[in-house]
Structure 1
Amino acid sequence: MRPFAIADFPSAEQYVRAKWAPILLRPILGSPEQVVVGVAAVNASGFYLERATDLFRLECLLGENAAVAILAASAGLDALQADLASRSIDALSDYRPAFSGIAIGELRDAEGESLQAVAKSWLATLSSLAHRESPAASKRTKTLADEPGDVSPQRDRLPILVLEYMKAKRPETDKFFSREIREQRPDSGNASEVRIDYSGSKIVANFGALLVSQHKRSVLRITKGLWDLKVDKDGERTGWTKRDHEMLIQHPPFNDPQFTQKQLDTMGEALRQLEKQADQEEIRLRSMHSVSEIGEHLLQRDAA
């Protein structure tokens, strides 16, 4: 074995200087609890965003609400990446959150072999959600964030059923529905893509079925719909158009004999949490029991 030589060690000239900051998720409104879900490193040559990959560990902290937090983290990081590409360091120093619950930590200086090395090193140091090789971790090849069956923001059938109901009553209303719904296209699964189900003359709406049998998945869809409505509403504030934005939820009655009391209680708690989220985002959330009820509501609103 040969002795070490000076040439084996990187020189100061080989290091890059960068500004870096942790990306924080604050999953519980009003709580000081926060976790690091990413680290961004930026300099004059570009940027690198390192994401925490073991988001499934949020289940330990949040239980059934972890799916919503994972979506918030993923969508927030997607939005930040686009902002970094557009505004570089200003995206960190003058952070403009696209979604509530995501924040930027203190902006600091660092040196490293590359922007990627700086971001990876600090994420590994700061985040309990950063991937670490271990016998237990290596056995889990699919994380909650990677499983489309559990957290995919795919649409349910409710928008199509509402479209069919309204077309039967008033055929010209189909133009208010998105092309994806009219043509029944599958979603791309891009968590950062803003999707609007219904864009009428007086009301903008997204639809979501709160399913007792698929509780986590349906809550995730509805939460994504709320955030999309918030983005669309914020965009309208700068223009002349001022329409109401509503999240329309269909769920079984709370005295439905098909379900156990425990299932109905779980659904009720989910609805209360969604109402809190809607209030926070300043979006009206309406809960209804049938497709016809939703359809009649929209027909009356846009006819008024």
Structure 2
Amino acid sequence: MNTQVSSLKFPELSGATRGRWAPVFLSPILGSPERFVIAVAVADDVAFHIERANEMRRLSCLYGKAAETALFAAEVAVEELEAALSNRGKAALVEGALVFSGVALGAVSEGEARSLQHLGRTWMSALSSLYRFNPEPIEVAAEEHHDGSSVDRLPTLVLEHVSGVNPSLAGHFSEEIRMNRKRRSSSAIAGVSIDFNGSHIVANFATLHSSATAISVDRIKRKMFDLKVRRDKEHSLFEARDHEMILFTPAGNSPLVNEKQLERVNEAVSNLKEQSDNEGFGFVALHDVPDIGERILTAESRVQGSA
């Protein structure tokens, strides 16, 4: 189970909260390298939050009655960490003073989301097999209201093009895209969302609108956040896959885009490209759906041809 992730230093999202976070590891068998993420602790200068694993019963399926001692240690250790954060704030994350055998704090990283709680939930969703994300109706409604945007049809159009050429690849698109449903909430509250999860390429798609560039950029950054979380989670795989953020942008000679809009679009693309380069995953901006679909088809056919 890979639990190592690189430090995340994304540019700020609109209305986001930055914080430091660290996973809490449990080793049920003393002396064994096997371990599980049982919580993520998050703190900033004024507050903290601990997002706990909510499916700890799964350990009983693995270890039977022997899991009782580990479960007790996990519960007490997290309570101890909570007290340390309450007394010393985010400094407690760096100190990492957990006294129970088999429980330890992981490396401290930086991240951002709509709140410290959402940041903890994002990383628990990405890292822990002992956690199940349960969105609250109020949160979902608040996120949709904040976004205020219509459904981006690009992922569905890419699915149609790709499946029309190679139907076997349709299953690699997310369920939301295949069922033509709106992605109900961002990575900040619903874990990691990936549009295409193929054998060789992992990709998210988004449209950069010339008439609503700021809103589009905010949405794209969230999709890039998801992509980076997924990429970091796969660092230990022997056959690493490419990870790409693929945009649909208006062409420079489009009669529907004026000079000022084109300038904003080009500036946004440049900034997003720089961000993706810094984070170490791919980024490409194309002007029509067939080109985007062919990029996916080419990547996947390259794997099939070399198999």
1:261 matched to which residue of 2?
Answer: 259
Q: Secondary structure at the match of 2:13?
A: helix
Relative distance call for 1:216 and 1:148 in structure 2 (3 A) is farther
2:13 equivalent to 1:69: yes
Whether the 8 Å contact between 1:203 and 1:244 is mirrored in structure 2 is: yes
Percent identity over the alignment is 33
Q: How far is 1:245 from its partner? A: 0.3
Q: How far is 1:100 from its partner? A: 7.2
| Residues 26-53 of structure 1, C-alpha deviations (whole Å, 9 max, x = no match) | 986xxxxxxxxxxxxxxxxxxxxxxxxx
Whether the 8 Å contact between 1:278 and 1:284 is mirrored in structure 2 is: yes
Task: Determine the C-alpha separation between the residues in 2 that align with 1:256 and 1:162.
Answer: 21
Relative distance call for 1:292 and 1:224 in structure 2 (3 A) is same
What amino acid is the match of 1:233?
Answer: R
Given candidates 139, 159, 170, the residue that maps to 1:163 is 159
Task: Determine the C-alpha separation between the residues in 2 that align with 1:214 and 1:151.
Answer: 12
Give 5+ residue unaligned stretches, structure 1: 1-25, 29-67, 105-145
1:127 matched to which residue of 2?
Answer: none
What amino acid is the match of 2:93?
Answer: L
How many aligned residue pairs are there? 198
- Give the alignment of 1:195-210 within 5 angstroms: 195-210=193-208
2:42 equivalent to 1:80: yes
Q: Which has the larger radius of gyration?
A: 1
1:188 matched to which residue of 2?
Answer: 184
Q: Secondary structure at the match of 1:69?
A: coil
Relative distance call for 1:188 and 1:74 in structure 2 (3 A) is farther
Task: Determine the C-alpha separation between the residues in 1 that align with 2:224 and 2:151.
Answer: 13
1:231 matched to which residue of 2?
Answer: 229
Q: Secondary structure at the match of 1:222?
A: helix
Task: Determine the C-alpha separation between the residues in 1 that align with 2:151 and 2:231.
Answer: 20
Given candidates 98, 102, 111, the residue that maps to 1:99 is 111
Task: Determine the C-alpha separation between the residues in 2 that align with 1:149 and 1:221.
Answer: 14
Task: Determine the C-alpha separation between the residues in 2 that align with 1:219 and 1:264.
Answer: 14
Task: Determine the C-alpha separation between the residues in 2 that align with 1:239 and 1:301.
Answer: 18
Larger deviation, residues 179-188 vs 169-178: 179-188
What amino acid is the match of 1:159?
Answer: P
Relative distance call for 1:282 and 1:258 in structure 2 (3 A) is same
| Residues 144-197 of structure 1, C-alpha deviations (whole Å, 9 max, x = no match) | xx6745646886111000001111111111011011111122223144221000
Q: Secondary structure at the match of 1:187?
A: coil
Task: Determine the C-alpha separation between the residues in 1 that align with 2:184 and 2:272.
Answer: 24
Relative distance call for 1:153 and 1:244 in structure 2 (3 A) is farther
Task: Determine the C-alpha separation between the residues in 2 that align with 1:147 and 1:198.
Answer: 23
Task: Determine the C-alpha separation between the residues in 1 that align with 2:184 and 2:19.
Answer: 14
Q: Secondary structure at the match of 2:111?
A: coil
Task: Determine the C-alpha separation between the residues in 2 that align with 1:186 and 1:79.
Answer: 30
Q: Secondary structure at the match of 1:221?
A: helix
| Residues 78-118 of structure 1, C-alpha deviations (whole Å, 9 max, x = no match) | 9837972346448732663363799x9xxxxxxxxxxxxxx
Whether the 8 Å contact between 1:250 and 1:290 is mirrored in structure 2 is: yes
Q: How far is 1:300 from its partner? A: 0.7
Whether the 8 Å contact between 1:74 and 1:191 is mirrored in structure 2 is: no
What amino acid is the match of 1:92?
Answer: L
Whether the 8 Å contact between 1:150 and 1:216 is mirrored in structure 2 is: no
- Give the alignment of 1:9-48 within 5 angstroms: none
Q: How far is 1:241 from its partner? A: 4.0
| Residues 6-63 of structure 1, C-alpha deviations (whole Å, 9 max, x = no match) | xxxxxxxxxxxxxxxxxxxx986xxxxxxxxxxxxxxxxxxxxxxxxxxxxxxxxxxx
- Give the alignment of 1:124-143 within 5 angstroms: none
1:16 matched to which residue of 2?
Answer: none
2:24 matched to which residue of 1?
Answer: none
What amino acid is the match of 1:84?
Answer: I
| Residues 199-221 of structure 1, C-alpha deviations (whole Å, 9 max, x = no match) | 11111000011111221221111
Relative distance call for 1:206 and 1:255 in structure 2 (3 A) is same
TM-score by length of 2: 0.56
Whether the 8 Å contact between 2:250 and 2:257 is mirrored in structure 1 is: no
What amino acid is the match of 1:73?
Answer: T
